[in-house]
Structure formats: structure tokens, C-alpha cells
Amino acid sequence: MSELFTHKNKSGLTRNLIEALFPMFEEASAGAIAVDRDANITWINSSYAQLLGLGDPSQVIGKPVRKVIPQTRMPEVVETGKPLLLDIMEHNQQQLVVTRLPYYDEQDAIVGAVAFVLYDDLQPLTPLVSKYRRLHRDLAAARKALARKARNTRYSLGDFVGGSPAALEVKRRARLAAGRDMPVLLLGETGTGKEVLAQAIHTASGRADKPFVGVNVAAVPENLLEAEFFGVVPGAYTGADRRAREGKFQLASGGTLFLDEVGDMPLPLQAKLLRALQEGEIEPLGSNKVATVDVRVIAATSRNLEAMLAEGSFRSDLYYRLNVLEISIPPLRDRLADLGVLCEALLGEISESHGVRADITDAGVAALAGYDWPGNIRELRNVIERALTMGEDGELLDADAIFKVLPRTSHRQLSPLSTRSVRPLARIVAEAEAQAIEEALVTCRGNRTRAALLLGISRSVLYEKLAKTS
Ligand SMILES: Nc1ncnc2c1ncn2[C@@H]1O[C@H](COP(=O)(O)OP(=O)(O)OP(=O)(O)O)[C@@H](O)[C@H]1O
Ligand SMILES: [Mg+2]
């Protein structure tokens, strides 16, 4: 130890103080260590060596302290010359309270630093430490929420609920889309989760910490669309703002631009959008200069774009530009096997926001399966919410509670097999089988083991049949 303080320190007082305090600190602490100007270990006492689990303390002398204690902040102390009087350091899942001090030579140059482990047993500090941990956790959660808010996204892939073959295929393609920086076209009826999926793809992509900017083409008046997309330079037209206004393309720079209801885009704007996508360049309104942009476009529509191509209301060149990777989200009526898990997820969300603990019976789920869901999952959510508020015994939804709120008119009419025209027997058998499997899955809320049991077949046979029909 003695050579550590043969240097004269910054001032006589500092030096004397440290020299006087050192033995006390060393003895009272659970460990002490010293490093030189380059953060290499010059000394370590035996209690610290033991705490760190070092067999032979002399082995670490001369080694960079980071190599021996990865979480150490001693390099920072020698670098900045600022002491870290109180810090909590984690080592091998153990929390150590440490203090670190720089020390100087006569010319006031830093020659190294010493550190003491004040406590290795945080038992007496438990309330403080648990508060620290809680704050740490809260901070991490708040940071995450903030980052999400900054990006403007709420959903990730886990929020797209469903375990049916069709839903799994949607998720598989979404993951594929997240991994590649290409345009994506989302097709699906209203309420099938296009917005959920667009955000989820962005969140899982390399652009996740850049903005996600959505623009609903159908909601913006036609004469404002161009400015909305490409921005406006000051004084571009009479009444235009004197300040420049950024368009969605600029706002999404580096991130993702979500073009919702892209089928509602007027033809002149389609041409401009095509150019922006092709050249990566945009021209703000009133400007004669082009600006380059880097955005990934995810487009969505509930319209039949192919029919629009045929009638000339959607440009085919734009269609092929947008449709590099197509994800078609099936309507709820085609994946009724997901009703059970969807109900659970939605009830979970609704329960949380209403502060009640709600559930649904198997019969309740079966009742939902009788409806054809033109509004898809959005409508399912509304129905469940309404059933909960109307229901007398409130928190457990059974078939009756569901029937009370389901629109009766559009109940699905499964035509009995006998009334359909005569077709090859194999087709009729296959259809009857598919229908039976679907009904079993609905009844069992997507639980395949139970569905197989109901159908009197093995689980593997059920999987085989599902694979064939999907
Ligand atoms: N797979 C899903 N899992 C869980 N919730 C879903 C799913 N799909 C949709 N939802 C919920 O349904 C509602 C509607 O979803 P979303 O807004 O993504 O639909 P959309 O396809 O964009 O509809 P629209 O064409 O009407 O804009 C949202 O509340 C969303 O949380
Ligand atoms: Mg939408």
C-alpha cells in the first residue's frame, strides 16, 4: 500500500486527509482497490479480492480494472477527476455500495483512483435498495412508454392476437416484412387489424426508434392532400402559412410512413406518390427544389384494389410499387377459431380499463361464433363491451348476454349440407369435416387438444387436417 501515497497529493491537506482516512476506510469497508492513471489495478486488499472471488490477488495487479470488474466506473473517475461518492454497483447479481475518489500528484495531475466497498451486505439498506430497484423499473417502463409515444406506436406483434393457421400466417409475413426494408401492402376488411399490424411491423423493424407517421388518405380533404404529404414552403399560395410546413414524408424521415386507406387516393396524387417512391424525392408545395427522403411505406386498404385497377381508378404502376409484400388479413368470420383467445385478450383490456374482472363462458364464445362479423375485431370489441355494460350479472358473459347485444339480422346462415347442390362426394365430406373442425375449435376456444378429444381424433391427426385446409 505504501507506494500508493508516496506521491505528494494535490494539496498537503488532501494528501494528509486521505492518508489519515485510508486505514480507517480500508478497515471499515468490505474491500478496497486502487488503480493508476490508465485504470490499471495497482493494489487490491484481500477482503475485496475475496468478495470478487479472486483466487490469487497478485494475479490482477497491472491488469485493466474493467477486465476484473466489468461494471466498475473507476476509469470514469481517472478520466474526469470527479469523485463518485456514492454509487450502487452490481457484481455477480450482488449489489455493492461503493465510493470512488481520484488522487493527484504535486502538479495537480491525476495519478489514479481508489475505491472502497462501503457495504456488501445491503440487508440493513433493504428499504432503500428496494426503492432504488422500484424507481429503476419505473424509469425503464417510463422510458419505453416515452419512446413508443415519440414513435407514435402503441402496438407490437404480440398485440396481434390469434393462433389459427390464418392468423399465424399473417404474423409470419409480418415478421418477414419487419426484417426487410420493402414496401408492404396490408389488405383486409374494416376492423381486421391493419393499423395494429402496420405499427407492429414498424416496431419490429430496424426503423423502430425512428418515427412512425400515419396518414389516413380518406380523412384528408382532396385539396389538402398534396400539402399533407409533401409539405409547403413559406408563402406557397395565398393564405399559406408564412412558416414552412413539413409534410408527412419529411416527418417520417428515417422511419415508416403508413398510408391508410390508400385506395381512396385521387389519381393526380397517385402520380406524385409514385414519383416519390420511385425516385426517393419529393417536391414541397410552392418549391422548385426536390428533397430526398428515406421512408419505408406501409400502405393499407379495405378496398378491392385489383377491381380498381381494372376500372382505372388506381394506377397499376403505383399498385406494383406498393405491393412488394402483400399481407392479406382474413376477416374474423374466416378465423372463428381465434374467437376464444380474442375474447380473452379483449376482456383483459376492457377489464383493466373498467376496473372489473370479466370473463366469458364457452357457451358465450359459441354464441359469438354464430355471427358473421362484418366489422370484425373492432365490432367484436364493441359487442363484448356492450354485453358487459348491459349484463345483469355483469362479469361473466354467457350465451344469453351475448345474444342480447348481437345484431340479430346478420346471423350467419350455414346452409344445411342437404340443400346444397349435389357435388362430388369427396368435396361434400371434406367440407363437412372442415366445418366440424371449425366448430370444435370454436367450442374449445382454439385449444386443439380439447378439440381433438371432442372430434374423437388424435391431436396429430387434427394438426394434419388443419395443415391441409390452411
Ligand atoms: N389480431 C388482433 N388482435 C387483437 N386486437 C385486434 C386485432 N386486430 C384488431 N384488433 C383490435 O380491433 C380494433 C380495430 O383494429 P384496426 O384499427 O387495426 O383495424 P383496421 O383494419 O385498421 O380497420 P379500418 O379499416 O376500419 O381502419 C382495434 O381496437 C384493435 O386493437
Ligand atoms: Mg385502420
CA–CA gap between residue 130 and residue 258 (Å, rounded)? 42
CA–CA gap between residue 168 and residue 176 (Å, rounded)? 12
pLDDT digits (tens, 9 = 90+) for 85-140: 888 888 877 778 899 999 888 788 888 999 999 877 766 777 777 788 788 888 87
Its pTM stands at 0.62
Rounded mean pLDDT, 351-371: 85
Give 330's contacts (C-beta < 8 A, 6+ positions apart).
166, 167, 170, 188, 192
Q: Specify the range with the lowest mean pLDDT, choosing from 90-94, 225-229, 361-365.
A: 90-94
Provide the percentage of residues in the chain whose pLDDT is more than 90.
44
Query: Which residue, by CA, sits nearest to atom 9 of ligand 1?
Result: 193
pLDDT at position 19 over 80 = no
SS3 state at 97: strand
- What local confidence, expressed as pLDDT, does residue 41 receive? 94
- What local confidence, expressed as pLDDT, does residue 5 receive? 43
Decide: residue 420, CB within 10 A, 0-12 exposed, 13-18 middle, 19+ buried. Answer: exposed
Q: Is the CB of 381 under 6 A from ligand 1?
A: yes
Ligand nearest to the CA of 193: 1
CA–CA gap between residue 142 and residue 144 (Å, rounded)? 5
Q: Which numbered atom of ligand 1 lies nearest the CA of 345? A: 4
CA 37 to the chain's CA centroid:
43
- What local confidence, expressed as pLDDT, does residue 35 receive? 94
pLDDT digits (tens, 9 = 90+) for 284-328: 888 888 889 999 999 999 999 999 999 999 999 999 999 999 999
Which fold would CATH assign to domain 157-330? Rossmann fold (3.40.50)
Q: Is the CB of 330 under 6 A from ligand 1?
A: no
Q: Is the CB of 378 under 6 A from ligand 1?
A: yes
> Considering the domain 2-121 in this protein, what is its CATH number?
3.30.450.20
pLDDT digits (tens, 9 = 90+) for 334-360: 999 999 999 999 998 888 777 777 889
Query: Which residue, by CA, sits nearest to atom 7 of ligand 1?
Result: 193
Contact 396, 359 (CB under 8 A): yes
Q: Is the CB of 328 under 6 A from ligand 1?
A: no
Q: Is the CB of 214 under 6 A from ligand 1?
A: no
CA–CA gap between residue 89 and residue 47 (Å, rounded)? 17
Provide the percentage of residues in the chain whose pLDDT is more than 70.
88
pLDDT at position 412 over 60 = no
Contact 217, 264 (CB under 8 A): yes
- What local confidence, expressed as pLDDT, does residue 411 receive? 47
Rounded mean pLDDT, 52-72: 90
Rounded mean pLDDT, 146-150: 69
Ion ligand 2, residues whose Cβ is below 5 A away: 194-195
Q: Is the CB of 195 under 6 A from ligand 1?
A: yes
> Considering the domain 420-469 in this protein, what is its CATH number?
1.10.10.60
- What local confidence, expressed as pLDDT, does residue 187 receive? 97
Task: Name the helix (H) or strand (E) containing 344.
Answer: helix 339-354
Q: Is the CB of 191 under 6 A from ligand 1?
A: yes
- What local confidence, expressed as pLDDT, does residue 203 receive? 92
Distance 143 CA to ligand 1 centre (A): 26
The per-residue pLDDT of the chain, averaged, comes to 85
Q: Which numbered atom of ligand 1 lies nearest the CA of 167? A: 1
Looking at 1.10.8.60, 3.10.20.90, 3.40.1190.20, 1.20.1440.230, the CATH number of the domain 333-405 comes to: 1.10.8.60
Pairing of β 110-119 and β 94-104? antiparallel
pLDDT at position 11 over 50 = no
pLDDT at position 242 over 60 = yes
pLDDT at position 415 over 70 = no
Domain ranges for the chain: 2-121, 157-330, 333-405, 420-469
Contact 218, 299 (CB under 8 A): no
Distance 258 CA to ligand 1 centre (A): 15
Distance 146 CA to ligand 2 centre (A): 23
Contact 50, 92 (CB under 8 A): no
Tell me the CA distances in angstroms from 136 to 130, 131, 141, 230, one per residue in order.
10, 8, 9, 42
For 119-186, the DSSP string reads: ES--GGGHHHHHHHHHHHHHHHHHHHHHHHHHHT----GGGS---SHHHHHHHHHHHHHHHS-S-EEE
- What local confidence, expressed as pLDDT, does residue 192 receive? 96
Q: Is the CB of 162 under 6 A from ligand 1?
A: yes
Query: Which residue, by CA, sits nearest to atom 24 of ligand 1?
Result: 190
pLDDT at position 7 over 60 = no
- What local confidence, expressed as pLDDT, does residue 237 receive? 66
Rounded mean pLDDT, 454-459: 86
